[in-house]
Structure 1
Amino acid sequence: MSARDEEYFLAGSDIQINALPKISLHDHLDGALRAETIIELADAIGLALPAAGTDGLGDWFENSADSGSLVSYLQTFEITTAVMQTPESLSRVAREFVSDLAADGVVYGEVRWAPEQHLAAGLSLDEVVEAVQAGIDAGVDDALAAGRGIRVGQLLTAMRHADRSLEVAQLAVRHRERGVVGFDIAGAELGFPASNHRDAFDYLAAHYFPVTVHAGEADGLPSIRSALFDGRALRLGHGVRLAEDITVERQDDESTYVTLGPLSQWVKDREIALELSPSSNLQTGAISAWGDELGDHPFDLLYQLGFRVTVNPDNRLMSNTTISRELALLSDAFGYDLDDLETFQLNAVAATFLPLEDREELADVISEGFYEA
């Protein structure tokens, strides 16, 4: 069964997490398709699929992504991007993306995707952005009609192994008044540092345009350092391997004593948000240095030390997950209560690429929703 059809509860309580207001910061458009939509779109273009039926296809994506390697994990996107090459398919996927978020209680989301991967049918970069925005707008209208308020902004992603980052940065700035709120780089991380895209980051900085960078997932501290100082990232996409810069000196029954390295101290002191994605981090092997179970994830260490941790699904299809499911898993693993879950949402509010006044209003929405729970 798809995770979007499930109800999730706070550990040891009858509080339904799905009903709580939530924020989604790290959520890929081409990683959130419904299996039934892939089947329909693939049939229309004659694309052979690796499994039959919605359950079979969903299982194939989840099992294939559970590879222990980011490179292998990313290969599953060859299918999803293949069915997202027309204005109609892009709009449909974006519309359903928003509807699924709203149904899960998300009140603000940022959807990241790479326009350069959707040009095979002859569309221009501007045309694909416009098609996705049309779908987002329709999804927001659908949510409102269903009694759910949601707001969604686009994060335009450049592929870090390619050479179109400046072009995508210019595209993002060009559409900043038409739904685009930020810029990202993604793809195979190891060997492709943010410094390779310095021209794009310089351009974005000159135009006061916010940036998040995938870093600290398939590569370690040098990648994070490059994201911060070459990319001027205001958030770290995943960033989980920042924990490599934290030394656990000793532990007793009540406390853990640690020393922060200069990079982790910098990230903590400046409240740079970590876009953590627990299930995805397990699938890609991002936390292999600490273990292979959710309870081994350094999420709790980072949280207890005061880092601005946020909870994200990364790719809902590949991990068969939702924000609610990720929060439920963390609650079960670390004993988090309602206050902890609210903290994660308020951390995410503070890290959104919204104007300050909008963030303050959004924080009120979160606090009111959790108070009523």
Structure 2
Amino acid sequence: MSTAAAPVTPAALLRVPKVLLHDHLDGGLRPATVVELAAARGHALPTTDPDALGAWFRESADSGSLERYLETFAHTLAVMQDEAALARVAAECAEDLAADGVVYAEVRYAPELFTERGLDLDAVVATVQAGFAEGVRRAAAAGRSIRIGTLLCAMRQNDRALEVAELVVRHRGEGVVGFDIAGPEAGYPPSRYLPAFALLRGANAHYTIHAGEAFGLPSIQEAIQHCGTERLGHGVRIADDIEVGADGRARLGTLAAYVRDRRIPLELCPSSNLQTGAAASIAEHPFGLLAEQRFRVTVNTDNRLMSACSMTSEMQALVDAFGYGWDDLRRFTVNAMESAFIGWDERLELIEKVIEPGYAAAAAG
């Protein structure tokens, strides 16, 4: 005799194990940390009140434009230019994610953006890894377990992709699990960076590509067919290749069908996607359609500071919009864990020993 699953409540949602594949280190600082670091370095901020500053980041990011959204990073990048600041931000990132119930996270950043005060790329990576390790230790001391994998980004507009790809290969035994290209999509198609992707494939290294966030289907086509990406960073615009008829049936175009049938993971970031113009509301976000059509959807935060969000709040928003229950949330979480850039045995252990029991307990109430 079956029993109904317990309702999804905010308190229960906070406790369940979560997996995060798309989170930017420089987009997740605590407002109070930005204020303190800025004061120490003489960097002017719009306001020095942490609550008001957090609101400023959120309001400034609510522009509907990816380019304007990216401008908010001028302040976070300015305060992350030395070893002490980088290590602090990384440690706090791990602590904050663990407090949100995240058991595995892939956090990404562009090392080339943190060299203004003399740090070289290898020093940046070593410093961030040390910070993550400290944050993981603090989380464990507080009774929370989290593992952090690092993705190193190359900024499209800076043309250093090959150099960053070499950095990934050089540090992949130290917690670096993959590569990404980020920054403005328009004018910087992923096929510009083919030598970097060739190097990564030759070294059996993993990579994802920001595509289908602002530019649309051509960037997704290139990322998959020309560059061989394993995942799509956002990929939300794949919905442009799906037509829903008057009968309610969805008809997939050839690209959408390929993405779904090949099980290419979509690193969807609902709140962030609203800010950059992908949808007018969560209820209108393509997540619902993509999940219904059994794409490999995953739930992500993108930039927790700019979107004033967490994994818990992103999941709650989807529950409120689409009526998802524990089975749905478990599926999205398993999707993410299966798509992570760590070994299959490690992924399977987290699924079987942490994720499945966690969601079973939540459903039982």
TM-score by length of 1: 0.94
Corresponding residue to 1:354 among 315, 329, 342: 342
How many Å apart are 1:247 and its aligned residue?
Answer: 1.1
Cα shift readout 1:214-248 (whole Å, capped 9, x = no counterpart): 01111111000111123211110110000001111
Gap change, CA 1:224 and 1:14, over 3 Å in 2: closer
2:163 matched to 1:167? Answer: yes
Partner of 1:152 in structure 2? 148
- Mapping for residues 235-250 of structure 1, pairs under 5 Å: 235-250=231-246
Partner of 1:323 in structure 2? 311
Higher helix share: 2
Partner of 1:73 in structure 2? 69
How many Å apart are 1:13 and its aligned residue?
Answer: 4.3
> Paired residues, what number?
356
2:52 matched to 1:63? Answer: no
2:330 matched to 1:342? Answer: yes
Residues in 1 aligned to 2:182 and 2:228: alpha-carbon distance in whole angstroms: 15
Partner of 2:299 in structure 1? 311
Q: Which amino acid aligns with 1:309?
A: V
SS of corresponding position for 2:205: coil
How many Å apart are 1:52 and its aligned residue?
Answer: 2.7
Corresponding residue to 2:258 among 261, 266, 272: 266
Residues in 2 aligned to 1:153 and 1:181: alpha-carbon distance in whole angstroms: 6
Q: Which runs of 5+ in 2 are unaligned?
A: 1-5
- Mapping for residues 28-67 of structure 1, pairs under 5 Å: 28-67=24-63
Residues in 2 aligned to 1:14 and 1:324: alpha-carbon distance in whole angstroms: 8
Corresponding residue to 1:286 among 274, 278, 286: 278
Contact 2:19 2:103 in 1 (8 A): yes
Gap change, CA 1:37 and 1:15, over 3 Å in 2: closer
Q: Which amino acid aligns with 1:47?
A: H
Partner of 1:83 in structure 2? 79
Corresponding residue to 2:96 among 74, 96, 100: 100
Q: Which amino acid aligns with 1:102?
A: A
Contact 1:68 1:284 in 2 (8 A): yes
How many Å apart are 1:11 and its aligned residue?
Answer: 6.6
- Mapping for residues 103-252 of structure 1, pairs under 5 Å: 103-251=99-247
How many Å apart are 1:108 and its aligned residue?
Answer: 0.3
Residues in 2 aligned to 1:262 and 1:179: alpha-carbon distance in whole angstroms: 37
SS of corresponding position for 2:20: strand
Contact 2:8 2:326 in 1 (8 A): no
- Mapping for residues 9-20 of structure 1, pairs under 5 Å: 13=9, 16-20=12-16
How many Å apart are 1:56 and its aligned residue?
Answer: 0.6
Residues in 2 aligned to 1:337 and 1:221: alpha-carbon distance in whole angstroms: 31
Q: Which amino acid aligns with 2:116?
A: A
How many Å apart are 1:372 and its aligned residue?
Answer: 1.4
2:357 matched to 1:368? Answer: yes
Residues in 1 aligned to 2:246 and 2:356: alpha-carbon distance in whole angstroms: 36
% identical aligned pairs: 54
Partner of 1:6 in structure 2? none
Contact 2:37 2:85 in 1 (8 A): yes
Contact 1:136 1:152 in 2 (8 A): yes
Cα shift readout 1:143-195 (whole Å, capped 9, x = no counterpart): 11111111001000000111100000000100000110000000011111100
Taking only aligned residues, the RMSD between alpha carbons, in angstroms, comes to 1.1
Greater displacement, 14-23 / 299-308: 14-23
Residues in 2 aligned to 1:179 and 1:170: alpha-carbon distance in whole angstroms: 15
How many Å apart are 1:14 and its aligned residue?
Answer: 6.8
Gap change, CA 1:194 and 1:206, over 3 Å in 2: same
Q: Which amino acid aligns with 2:320?
A: D
How many Å apart are 1:354 and its aligned residue?
Answer: 1.0
Partner of 2:268 in structure 1? 276
Q: Which amino acid aligns with 1:372?
A: A
Residues in 2 aligned to 1:12 and 1:192: alpha-carbon distance in whole angstroms: 42
Contact 2:23 2:303 in 1 (8 A): yes
